[in-house]
């Protein structure tokens, strides 16, 4: 069986006998786990706390088995270094391993380790005195397919920046890419923007799906709101007007915020869920929508 490592997995190859561990988040970890590979049955992935407990009890590696037939266990945001190799498999495959009681060779390459989180910013200078922020987080998060959340938003903004680079602009546009948690050891949002006087923010998060429902939440932009809503609706967005500052935008000092996203892919059960499939053509549609919105901000 070949499976991708979990986001909190260590790297390496281990071989040893297997031990079945049932619901380690609720029941004690058996003593015989030492120097063995744990077959862990759990209803969903409890971040990396289970893996840390197994590591503390000197397990060699971990195979997570989901209770839900046909589904893969979700990944997690890495909080600290974990050395145990770990993968997730379906219930069907897990039951075969449990029944066999055989020794197991477990090899993981490409598991994650904690490193300093970095922020990336890019500025396109305009002739006028207004500045707009275009923001996307470049990493992924719990319960989300990484390509859709949020490699898609990052890709779209990179393409928008590439196209705008060849244009003469009235406004200045600051493109900002940060890890979702904006960790203290990385570039903090407040530090990046403390000397920037910006008039509005466009957040791009989970876009470009073939089947996801396009949603836009707009707050402020009173002068341009009618034109912005018209463009969004003409490109298939369901538009919500927010009178209060949404939870995801409380770190921004401006009252003009536009959030572009999709549903229901955020709640997809597996990376194979159809609502999570993204395509180049779908991503380019979002690029065109953003360019049309920027034309409104440019007064065109």
pLDDT along the chain (300 residues), means of 10: 60 83 72 86 64 85 70 47 76 79 66 58 94 88 64 93 95 88 51 84 88 88 95 94 72 88 55 60 95 95
Task: Report the pLDDT value the prediction gives residue 203, as an integer from 0 to 100.
Answer: 93
Among candidates 103, 106, 133, 130, which has minimal Cα distance to 119?
Answer: 133
- Pairing of the two strands 37-42 and 120-124: unpaired
Containing structural domain, residue 191: 120-297
Q: Are residues 148 and 195 in the same domain?
A: yes
CA distance 78 to 254: 31
HSE-up of residue 249 (Cα within 13 Å, Cβ side): 26
Task: Report the pLDDT value the prediction gives residue 25, as an integer from 0 to 100.
Answer: 65
Q: Are residues 180 and 270 in the same domain?
A: yes
Q: Which residues pair with 259 in a beta bridge?
A: 203, 217
Domain count, the chain: 2
Task: Report the pLDDT value the prediction gives residue 186, as an integer from 0 to 100.
Answer: 40
Out of 51, 82, 108, pick the residue that ends a domain.
108
Q: Are residues 130 and 266 in the same domain?
A: yes
Q: Are residues 166 and 291 in the same domain?
A: yes
Classify residue 2: in a domain, yes or no. no
Among candidates 115, 107, 51, which has minimal Cα distance to 84?
Answer: 51
Helix axes 280-297, 225-234, angle to 10 degrees: 160
pTM of the model: 0.65
Task: Report the pLDDT value the prediction gives residue 22, as an integer from 0 to 100.
Answer: 75
Classify residue 209: in a domain, yes or no. yes
């Amino acid at each position: 069986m070949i499976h991708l490592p979990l986001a909190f997995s260590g790297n390496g190859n281990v071989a040893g006998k297997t031990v079945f561990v049932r619901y380690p988040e609720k029941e004690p970890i058996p003593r015989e786990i030492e120097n063995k590979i744990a077959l862990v049955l759990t209803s969903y992935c409890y971040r990396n706390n289970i893996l840390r407990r197994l590591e503390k009890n000197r397990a060699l590696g971990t195979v997570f088995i989901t209770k839900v037939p046909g589904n893969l266990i979700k990944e997690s945001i890495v909080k600290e270094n974990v050395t145990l190799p770990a993968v997730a498999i379906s219930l069907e495959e897990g039951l075969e391993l449990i029944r066999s009681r055989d020794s197991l060779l477990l090899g993981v390459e490409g598991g994650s380790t904690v490193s300093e989180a970095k922020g990336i910013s890019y500025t396109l200078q305009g002739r006028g005195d207004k500045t707009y922020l275009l923001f996307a987080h470049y990493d992924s998060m719990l319960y989300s397919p990484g390509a859709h959340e949020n490699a898609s938003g990052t890709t779209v903004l990179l393409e928008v920046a590439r196209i705008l680079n060849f244009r003469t602009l009235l406004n200045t546009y600051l493109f900002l890419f940060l890890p979702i948690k904006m960790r203290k050891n990385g570039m903090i949002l407040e530090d990046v923007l403390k000397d920037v006087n910006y008039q509005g923010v466009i957040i791009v998060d989970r876009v470009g799906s073939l089947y996801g429902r396009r949603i836009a939440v707009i707050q402020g932009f009173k002068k341009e709101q009618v034109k912005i809503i018209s463009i969004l609706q003409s490109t298939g967005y369901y538009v919500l007007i927010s009178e209060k500052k949404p939870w995801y935008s409380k770190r921004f000092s401006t009252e003009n915020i536009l959030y572009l996203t999709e549903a229901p892919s955020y709640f997809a059960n597996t990376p194979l869920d159809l609502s999570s499939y993204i395509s180049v053509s779908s991503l380019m549609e979002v690029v065109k929508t953003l360019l049309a919105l920027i034309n409104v901000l440019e007064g065109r």
